[in-house]
Structures are given as structure tokens and as C-alpha cells.
Amino acid sequence: MILFEKIAIITSAYEPALTDAYLLVGDDGKIAYIGGTRPDCAPDRVISGARKALIPGLVNAHTHLPMTVFRGFGEGCELHEWLNNYIFPAEDKLDARCVSACTDLAIAECVRFGTTSVTDMYMFEPTVAERIDKGGMKANLCRAITKFSSPSGFEWSGEKSTEDTREVLELFERWHGHDNSRIVVDAGIHGEYTSEPYLWEKVAAFAKERNIRLHVHLSETKSEHEECIGRWGMTPAEVLEKHGVFDVPANCAHCVWTTPHDHEILAAHGATAVHNPVSNMKLASGFAPVTAMKNAGVNVALGTDGVSSNNSHDMFEEIKAAAIMHKAANLDPSLVPAPDAFAMATINGAKAQGRESECGRLAVGFDADITMLDLDAPHLYPMHSLLSNVVFAARGSDVCMTMVRGRTLYEGGEYKTVDVERARYEIEHYAFPKIWG
């Protein structure tokens, strides 16, 4: 057992912060006690809470972990130029060894910055799953299918199977539900503009038959949104709904150009819109209508997108960006108040992953997915409101401990589950030469 004593605690976005409180992590990796008096127990370790705070572990609801290798590559372009001229050609040269090292680097960055769970979409996902398993994080993983590998239809196995579809099956059969569902598998569609109706229907049916979630990029750019209307006479959300994509719980990344009717569709189907403010601003994709989506009843979570278009996995940057960009864009300082921004990265992210009964807040019986912040820094003092300081002033570098299910993954500069130096060596001496010669 681990006891945090006399520590400040934010249990959830909409509950008052506790001061000089106690939190006990049980041997089963769950939170056994939270309160204002010391529990009657003999813990294996006691951690002083002096100038420290505990918050729920952060949930990154949309990223592409192995894209750490592309950090800073292809700068200054809009999305489609960046993808077609830089990213797609470079990605064609990746292999599992590259992805392994790049994923390890991403995991180290995530836990350093207090992220305990990620929703990832990429290639070589069985390799990503192996690294996540070793790294100790939680993850929802998917291998998205595109029309490029199956232009005339496909099967999941047999003669018409493709490398993509075989990888999906391998990922699902080997990793779905692994370690008491610390790792789960989602179905994946890259996006409307990279796929076709036959593909949407098959992937949606795959998800429905297996009772799993689905992950898709949705209306990220104006051109993507308008070209879809030109093709089908419908928005991406409307055409995907027509073909059954939202018949299962769906995570829809970006949603920048979505319409009020799109929001009705997402809300009616219980879909999540994953806001990626830093990536959307960096690629000049626009400002997602977060307030309109929330008012329509859509669950809005938060993600970094890939490091290649961000260039960081620091969720504190996303929280602050989400809290301020909509105020400026709408000339209204009341929009996206601090609790809402924090909820996107915690409670709402857990809901997006189907994990709302296990994490996203600190509560007795929930998994001990915990981030501890060191408050002993000039930019975190004084403290009129702990939540306000966390949302508007804290940085990923203020994290001093990250824990998943009671297991410490990062503490005080030490990475407990990832060999960062090995990852750096592999990227420098193998991945870079392979991709760029």
C-alpha cells in the first residue's frame, strides 16, 4: 500500500479540491481511501504531500504515438500538403523496429507529462501494443483501414485480405482485453476522404459484431469537409451515419468544421468529439465548435494528435489551449471555463475510451491512475484556486509522479518502465537512416 499524506487533491473537474488530505492506494492497484483524516493502516510507503497535488491521470483521446520520429518534420504546411508531400512518403519506409523505438519514446514523454491512458491510431499496432504492455500505460489501440490498400473491397482473412486487415485481426485476437482490459482494441477508419462506403460498412460491422468502439478522423479541415459534400451531398458525419459508422460508440477526432446537424448526429449516437486544439492551430485547420458541441450534448474529450503536427504530447498544453482559444475566437471570456477544460482531459477522455467506471477521477474503488504535481515553482504561486493553476499555469514538467493502477511509471526524473536511452539510440542509428538515408 502507498499512502499520500497531507496533500492537495483534485478528485474530479467539478468537485472542490481537498487540502491536507490523505489518499491510500491498495495492493490491488485501486484507490482504497480518500479523506481528511489519516486511515488506520500500515502502508508500505508514505509520500509527503508538502507542496504537492494529486490529480486524475490525464487521458489523451487521440494520438499517433510512433510519429515521434517526425517531430518538426514538414513544418509550415496545411494538413493535406503536409500529409501528401512529407508524411505519407516517409511513413512508407517505416518498419516494426522503427515503430518500437518511436513508441517507447512517446510512452516516456506521455508518462513524464502525467498521461496515464491514450487512444492511438497508427500502423504496426501489434508492435505498439507490445510497447504499451511493457510501458504500463492504458491504451485503446486501432489500426485504421484505408481504400489505398483495398481499392475494390476486402475480407478480414483469406484471399481478399490485405496487410491492413490481417493486422487488425492480429491486434484484436492478441491484445483486446489484455491485462484486465488495460489494453483494448478499437476498430478504425482513417477518414471519409481516405475511404469508401464499402469500407465504412465493413469496419462498422466488424466493430458491432465484436462489441468494440470505433475511431475516425472527422471534418478536420475545410477542404475535407466541403469536398465530402461535393462527393455525396452530405457532410462527413452525415454520410458516415448513413453507412452505420455511428451504430457503435465512436471517437471522432478533430470535428473542426462540423455543423449543428452533425452535432445532433454525434449526440444521438453517443459519439465523442476529440478536440485537438494545438494541432488544429499549428496546421491552420481552424477552431472546433466546442461550446456548440457541448451544448448539443456531445461528449468532448481532448487529444494531442501526433507529435508530428503538435510537436508535443504535453496534455497540459492542450488543456490550456482548449480553455483559452474559444474565448478569443468568440470574444467571450466565459466560454470553456477551467472545470470544462480539465474534464475534457480526464472524465470525458475516460468516457471516450469506455473507461468512465475505472478512471478519469479519483474515487474509492477506481483504479489508481494518478498524476502528482510539484507545486514548488514560481509559476504555481500564489494559489487562489488549485484547479485554475492546473488549467492555466501548470506544465507537463511540473509532474513528479505518474501512476497507473498503483504502479509507478515515472517518478522524479526516473522512467521505471521505458529505456529512453535505448529508444534514442535506435531512432538515431536505425530509424533516421532508414527513413531519410
Read off the pLDDT of residues 374-427 as tens digits, 9 standing for 90 and up.
999 999 999 999 999 999 999 999 999 999 999 999 999 999 999 999 999 999
pLDDT tens track for 315-369: 999 999 999 999 999 999 999 999 999 999 999 999 999 999 999 999 999 999 9
Domain boundaries, the chain: 2-56+366-415, 58-352
Q: What is the mean pLDDT of the chain?
A: 96
| Run of H or E residues at 341 | helix 338-344
Q: In what order do the strands lie in the sheet with 272-275?
A: 187-191, 214-218, 250-254, 272-275, 299-302
For the stretch 293-304, pLDDT in tens is 999 999 999 999
Tens of pLDDT, residues 28-57:
999 999 999 999 999 999 999 999 999 999
Question: Is the per-residue pLDDT at 161 higher than 90?
Answer: no
Q: Is the pLDDT of residue 149 over 80?
A: no
Name 191's bridge partners: 217
Please report the pLDDT score of residue 82 as a whole number. Answer: 87
pLDDT digits (tens, 9 = 90+) for 272-295: 999 999 999 999 999 999 999 999
Q: What angle do CA 282, 249, 213 make, to 5 degrees?
A: 85
pTM tops 0.75, yes or no: yes
Q: What is the mean pLDDT of residues 65-78?
A: 92
* pLDDT attached to residue 148: 76
- Radius of gyration over alpha carbons of the chain, in Å? 21
Q: Could you tell me which CATH number the domain at 2-56+366-415 has?
A: 2.30.40.10
State how far the Cα of 172 lies from the Cα of 153, in Å rounded to an integer: 20
164-178 mean pLDDT:
95
Distance in angstroms (rounded) separating the CA atoms of residues 176 and 188: 14
Distance CA 293, CA 268 (A): 12
CATH number of 58-352: 3.20.20.140
Q: Cα–Cα distance between 102 and 189 in angstroms, integer?
A: 23
User: Taking Cα atoms as reference points, which of 100, 207, 161 lies closest to residue 422?
Assistant: 100
Residue 396 DSSP class:
G
